Amino acid sequence: MGALNRDLWIIFFSNVLGAFGDGLYFYVWSLYIRDLGGTPGDVGIIYSVLGLASALTPLLGGFLADKYDRKKLMILTWLIWVPVPLMFSLVNNWSQLILPSFLYGCFIGGPATSAYVATSAKKERMAITFTTISASWSLSYTFAPGIGSYLATVIGIRRVFHIAFVLFALATITLLFIRSQRATTHSSESPKPTTAFKPKRMFVWALFFAAIFFTITLFRPCIPQFFRDVHGYEDFHVGIFGSITFFGSFVFAIVLGRVGDKWKKAMTVLIALLLSVASVWLLISFRDFVILAFSSYLMGCSYVTWSLMGATIGSLAPEASRGRWMAVAQTASLVAAFPAPYIGGTLYEASPQNPFTAAIIATPLLAFLALIISLKVET
């Protein structure tokens, strides 16, 4: 935890508040869409709308992050998100979720946050810094899905959305206390002039992570539905599995962050991919609660890949254009992820095993690519 300075700790605690509000409902959000009359395909449409907004906004955000105060852009994103839980609480049909889902996906402050963290981090501790910040979300998600599922049975899901609204507002207020940060032409944390900056390498990384996020987003929204539809678990137990997943994400974020700073980052991604595909295989092969709990724990690895992407791009990009390169990588990943939920939902409607089978086929290929990149691209 010594990797974080004052401002990064404030971001950490802001994330804890916001993630707890988000985690109260997001893991079982696909079940909420189903309860509003949506089919698995409709669930995919809503997730794709969210993904579309996420894909459209980072490039603008990256440009602004290199021009203006990154703190203000981070706060702007939260101001867009704050009313979303209230909007969710007012809908009566799944199609009414389209507009708030688009707002929910707006990610204009994403590159600013990543650039802020990368600029504040020590170069030799880049991976552990990013994964520790990521762990702030995982820490809240460890407890929030189970608590949210329980509260939904006691006070109703709409009241849970109201609690999330309050937590989103507190997360926004907390960010007011970080220092302003603007991109500078020269930075002690930027690559030294003797370091050859290779845009081609950045694009290779961006495409690689795009393939990863397409595969992950293909099946991940289907997991809560699979627990209920195939294994027969009630929503409360699905929430418990979600909490276990994010506890795993918290643990793996710290462990893989340390590994990423000692080894090549692509090798760390390879480990995360292999553990994720093992999780998927356990999910579709067994019904026992203990085995499924272990599967959920391993699934936490899939959430660490985003922070590993930030650490990789952040360590390679020059400070003056760091926001834009963060935006390129994030946009590539989010564009690739945009159609994946709809495709996954369509595959799920044909057979619930289909999206998971596709992931089992694709993930070893991605792991092989990670190995090749670690040997030939990363230095």
Angle at 119 between CA 114 and CA 121, to 5 degrees: 95
CA distance readout (Å), 152 to 42, 114, 127, 244: 22, 33, 37, 19
- The answer, yes or no, to whether residue 164 has pLDDT greater than 90, is yes
Mean pLDDT of the chain: 84
Task: In whole angstroms, give the CA distance from residue 137 to residue 9.
Answer: 13
- The answer, yes or no, to whether residue 10 has pLDDT greater than 90, is yes
pLDDT at 351: 93
- Does some domain include residue 129? yes
Question: CB neighbours of 262 closer than 8 A, spacing ≥ 6?
Answer: none
Name, of 51-65, 95-109, 178-192, 284-298, the range with top average pLDDT. Answer: 284-298
Look at 190 and 343; give whichever has higher pLDDT: 343
Q: Write down the residue that tokens 């678990």 correspond to.
A: 233
pLDDT at 264: 67
- Does some domain include residue 296? yes
CATH number for the domain that contains residue 313: 1.20.1250.20
- Does some domain include residue 1? no
- Does some domain include residue 163? yes
* Range name among 152-161, 180-189, 197-206, 358-367 with the lowest pLDDT average: 180-189
The pTM (predicted TM-score) of the whole model is 0.73
Look at 212 and 191; give whichever has higher pLDDT: 212
Region 129-138: mean pLDDT is 82
Task: State how many domains the chain has.
Answer: 1
Name the percent of the chain lying above pLDDT 90. 29
Q: What is the pLDDT of residues 135-152, one digit of tens each?
A: 888 788 888 888 888 888
Region 39-61: mean pLDDT is 84
Instruction: With cut-offs at 50, 70 and 90, classify the pLDDT of residue 304.
Output: confident
Instruction: With cut-offs at 50, 70 and 90, classify the pLDDT of residue 12.
Output: very high
Task: Tell me, letter by letter, the H, E, C secondary structure of the chain.
Answer: CCCCCHHHHHHHHHHHHHHHHHHCCHHHHHHHHHHCCCCHHHHHHHHHHHHHHHHHCHHHHHHHHCCCCHHHHHHHHHHHHCCHHHHHHCCCCHHHHHHHHHHHHCCCCHHHHHHHHHHHCCHHHHHHHHHHHHHHHHHHHHHHHHHHHHHHHHHCHHHHHHHHHHHHHHHHHHHHHCCCCCCCCCCCCCCCCCCCCCHHHHHHHHHHHHHHHHHHHHHCCHHHHHHHHCCCCCHHHHHHHHHHHHHHHHHHHHHHHHHHHHCCHHHHHHHHHHHHHHHHHHHHHCCCHHHHHHHHHHHHHHHCHHHHHHHHHHHHCCHHHHHHHHHHHHHHHHHHHCCHHHHHHHHHHHCCCHHHHHHHHHHHHHHHHHHHHHHHCCC
8 A C-beta contact, residue 222 and residue 348: yes
Instruction: With cut-offs at 50, 70 and 90, classify the pLDDT of residue 330.
Output: confident
- The answer, yes or no, to whether residue 1 has pLDDT greater than 60, is no
pLDDT at 196: 55
Which of these, 40, 11, 18, 9, lies nearest to 225 by C-alpha position?
A: 40
- Establish how many alpha carbons lie within 13 A of residue 182's alpha carbon, considering only the half-sphere containing its beta carbon: 5
- Does some domain include residue 49? yes
Look at 230 and 209; give whichever has higher pLDDT: 230
Task: In whole angstroms, give the CA distance from residue 166 to residue 162.
Answer: 7
Find the domain containing 26 and state its range. Answer: 6-376
- The answer, yes or no, to whether residue 269 has pLDDT greater than 60, is yes
Region 284-297: mean pLDDT is 94
